[in-house]
Structure 1
Amino acid sequence: MLRFLRHILIYINVLLALLLLASVLSPLVSPGFLRVAPFLGLMFPFLMMINAFFVIYWAVSRRLALFISLAVMLTGSAQVKRFVRIPISKIIRKESNAGEKLFSGDSLRILTYNVRAFNLYDWAHNKDASIGILHFVDSLRADVLCFQEFYSRAESRLTLKEIPQGTSPAPHAYFYYYFTDHQGGRYGIATYSRYPILRKGAIRFENTYNVCIYTDILFGKDTIRVYNAHLQSVRFRKANYDFLDTLRLTYSNRHLREAKDIYSKLREAYLKRSDQVNQIARHIASCVYPVIVCGDLNDTPVSYTYRIIRGRLVDTFTEAGEGLSYTYNLPYWPFFRIDYILSDPIFKVAKLKTPRIPYSDHFPVLATLILPGGKADSANQRFRPK
C-alpha cells in the first residue's frame, strides 16, 4: 500500500513539475498565440513553492525522485530573484548606504506610484489618504515622479500645480500629463521632474483609458528618456472583488458566473497588454537616449509583458531590491509585483525601495540610479539639443 501511494505521489510530482516548466517558459509565448500562457506565468510562485515541498519531502525520504522537481526549479531560478532578493553583499559590508558608495557619478532618484485617483472613492477608508500621498511624496525628495491613475479636479487641492508648488527645496517645475475627462475632473497619467523637459509625447492605445507617456529630460549635460506606462487594467467590478475576497470551492451557478466573468476579463486584459507592450518596445528601440521605464504594467515578472518591455533594460529590483518584491496589496499573496522601474544598462542601480504605505492599493517604488560621468555623454552626444 505504501509503495502504491508513493507511486501516486511521483505521478502528482511529475505533473506539477511539468506545470512549473510550462510556467517558466510561458513568457516566451504571446497570449494571442496561446491564451493559457499568462495564467501559467501567474501561477509561478505557487508552483515553485509546491515543487520545493516535494524536493524536501523526497530528500527526507532519501529518494532520487527529488530530482524531478529540483531539475525544473533550477531552470526557473532566474525568475525567483524577480520576486525575492537577499542583499548578501550589503549584509557582508553592513553599511546601509553601501550601494551609493560603490558608484560615482550623477545621482537620480525616481519614483513610480499608482495613486488610485488619490482615494477619490474612499477605497482606503481614510479621508486623509490623498494628503498623505502628497506628504509622503514630498518627504522622498525624488527628482522624477511618475504617477498612474492620477486624478485632478480644479476645485480641489489636488490640482496639477499642487505637487510642483508643494515640494522643496527644488520644486518639480516641469511636468507632462495625459488626461481624459472623468467624474468632473481629469484622470490619467503624469510625470513631474526637477530637471527641464525637452520633449514629450504619448503612445496611445486603442479603446482604453490606459496610455504610456514619455519625456526627454535634460539631466546635467545629458538627455535621458523616461517612459511612464500604465498598461491595460483588468477593470474588475465590485462583485468580482467581493467574490475573490470570499472565495469558496463551491459550484453554485452564481459562483460559476463570477469565475467565468473574472477569467474573461483577465484574458482580455492579457491580450490587450501584449499589443500595448509591443508598441512600447518598438518605440524604445527607436530611442537614441538612455531609457528608464516606469509604471504599472499590470503583469508579473513571469509574463510576456515583462519579457518584452524589459528587453535589454535592467530590472532595478534584481539589482538592489530587498526581501519580497510585491507592489500590489494582496493580504494573502505577497508575490504580486506589477509596478516596475527598468533602467538602461548605462545606469548603476544604487538603491531600490518599496515603502509599504496604506494610501493606495499599490505600493510606490523608489530607485536611486547613478549615471557614471561621460558614459551617457558618449552614447547620445550627437543627439543632444544645441
Structure 2
Amino acid sequence: MKIFRLILLILHLGILFLLLGSLMNAYIPPKIFPWFNLLSLGFPILIISYIILTIFWVFSWKKRAFIFMFAGLAFINPVKRWVNFSTDKKGASTIKVVSFNIKGGTMGQKNIEDFLKSQNADVILLQEDGGRQFPVLKDYQRTASNGYISILTKHKILNDKLIYSSDETEGIPAGLQADIEIRGKVYKFLNIYLYPFKFEKDMVRLNGDSDANEQKLKDVVKRLIPTFKKHQGQVDVLRRTIESSPYPVILTGDFNSVPNSYEYYHLSAGLEDAFLTAGKGSATSFHDYKFPIRIDYVFSSESIRAVSYVVDRSVSLSDHYPVISELSLGEK
C-alpha cells in the first residue's frame, strides 16, 4: 500500500508541475518554448486528475491533502475560463453581439441565415464565412468579405480594415477591425480568426495499433508547434491594434486556441472575458471532437460590461456553436 501511495504522490506532483507549466503561457511565447502552450490543450484532463487525487488524499487522512488543496488555489481562475457559474447581471444600454464560425455555410446556408435573422443582434461577427451572401439580413451593413471573416451590423460602419501579421504567406488575415458608431459613440470591433490547425478527425482518432497511434501523435505535435509560433506573430499585430485604439474595444472570434494558452493570455490582456463576467456552465464552443474545447470568445474593454453570455448548443449548423453575449455600454 505504501508503494501504491508513493506512486500516486509522484503522479500527483507531476500533474501539479504540468499545470503550473500551463500558467507559464502568460510569460513565455511559443517561439521560445512552445511546449507550455501544448499543455494548455490538456488542461481539462490534468485538472480533473489533480482534483481526483486531492480527494483521495483527503479521504486517506493525509496531511499532504492540505498542501495540494492550497496549491490548487492557483488554478481557480484557469478553471473558471472553462466552467463558470456567475450571478445574474443587469445593465442599461445593452447591445447584442453574436460570434459564429459558420464553416463556410456547408451545413445549411438557409438555416444559418434564419438563425442569424432570428437573433436580431446589433453586431454579427462571422468566421469562415466563405464569402457567402446573406440576403435576408438586408437591414445590416456588412464589411467586404475576403472569404474568411466579416462583420454585419445594424449600426453605422465608419471604416474597416483587415489585419495581417508580417509573416503571413497564405493570405489568411489574423482579424478584421471595424469602427462602428452606436448611439453616438464609436467602438472598435475586432473579429479574430487565428490560423487554423487544419485537423481531420482521422488524424486524431486513435485505434488499437500502437505504432500507428504513436505516429499520429507525432504528426499532431508537428502540426501544433508551427501553428503556435504562427499565432504568436498574429497576436503581436492584434495587440498593437488593441493598444492603439482610441475607442473602447470589443474583441470576438475563433481563436483556434484554448483558455490558459499563450493566445488567450495575451489577447485578453487589459480586456474582460465576457464568460468570466456573465457566463454559466461550460464554455465549450467547438464540438466536433467530443472533447471540452473552448476556442470562441468575447472580450471587451473594462468600460463595457457583459450582462449575459451564452453558448447556444441547440444550434448544430457548424462544428462550432454560436456565442451570444449582451454587453452594457454604460459605465460600470
- TM range, normalised to the smaller chain? over 0.9
Instruction: Name the counterpart of 1:208.
Output: 170
Matched-pair contact (CA < 8 Å) for 1:114–1:362: yes
Mapped contact 1:177–1:188 kept (Cα < 8 A) = no
CA distance in 2, matches of 1:64, 1:248: 41
| Equivalent residue for 2:96, pick from 104, 109, 113 | 109
Rounded to whole Å, the distance in 1 between the matches of 2:228 and 2:111 is: 33
Cα distance between partner residues in 2 of 1:341 and 1:25: 23
Greater C-alpha radius of gyration:
1
Tell me, yes or no, if structure 1 residue 219 matches structure 2 residue 182. yes
**Structure 2 counterparts to residues 185-204 of structure 1, below 5 A:** 187-204=147-164
Measured in 2, the distance between the counterparts of 1:292 and 1:176 equals 16
Aligned residues: 328
The one-letter code of the counterpart of 1:108 is: I
Q: 1:213 to 1:321 in 2, by over 3 A?
A: same
Question: Structure 2 CA distance, aligned partners of 1:324 and 1:8?
Answer: 32
Which residue identity is paired with 1:117?
A: G
Q: TM-score, normalised by structure 1?
A: 0.81
Closer, same or farther in 2 for the Cα pair 1:47/1:329, shift >3 Å?
A: same
Letter paired with 1:78: N
Q: Is the 8 A contact 2:164 2:237 kept in 1?
A: no
* TM-aligned CA distance change 1:111 to 1:235, over 3 Å: same
Write the letter of the residue equivalent to 1:142. A
> Quick one: structure 1 residues 16 and 330, their matched pair in 2 at CA, closer, same or farther if it must change by over 3 Å?
same
Work out the CA distance in 1 between the residues paired with 2:159 and 2:115. Answer: 28
* 1:105-144 deviation line (CA, Å, top 9, x unaligned): x22111110000001xxxx5xxxx2211111111111010
- Pair 1:244-2:223 in alignment: no
So what's the TM-score if we normalise by structure 2?
0.94
Instruction: Give the alignment's Cα RMSD to 1 decimal.
Output: 1.7
Confirm whether residue 234 of structure 1 aligns to residue 197 of structure 2: yes
Query: For 1:162, what is the secondary structure of its paired residue?
Result: coil
Report the alpha carbon displacement of residue 24 of structure 1 after superposing the two structures with TM.
2.6
Separation of aligned partners in 2, 1:137 and 1:345? 27
Q: CA deviation at 1:274?
A: 1.0
Deviations 1:2-60 (A, max 9, x none): 22222222122211211122123333211111021111111111111101001110101
Q: Which amino acid aligns with 1:189?
A: I
User: Partner of 2:77 in structure 1?
Assistant: 78
| Counterpart pick for 2:266 among 289, 305, 308 | 308
Matches within 5 A, 1:229-378: 229-236=192-199, 238=200, 241-245=201-205, 247-248=206-207, 250-252=209-211, 254-330=212-288, 332-334=290-292, 336-356=293-313, 357-372=315-330, 375=331
Equivalent residue letter for 2:155:
Y
**3-state DSSP of counterpart to 1:70:** helix
- Aligned equivalent of 1:96: none
Which structure 1 segments of 5+ residues have no match?
91-98, 153-157, 166-170, 180-186, 377-386
Report the identity percentage: 26
SS class of match (1:307): helix
Deviates more, 1:336-345 or 1:62-71: 62-71
Supply the AA of the counterpart residue of 1:113: F
Q: Which residue matches 1:383? A: none
Match of 1:67 in 2: 66
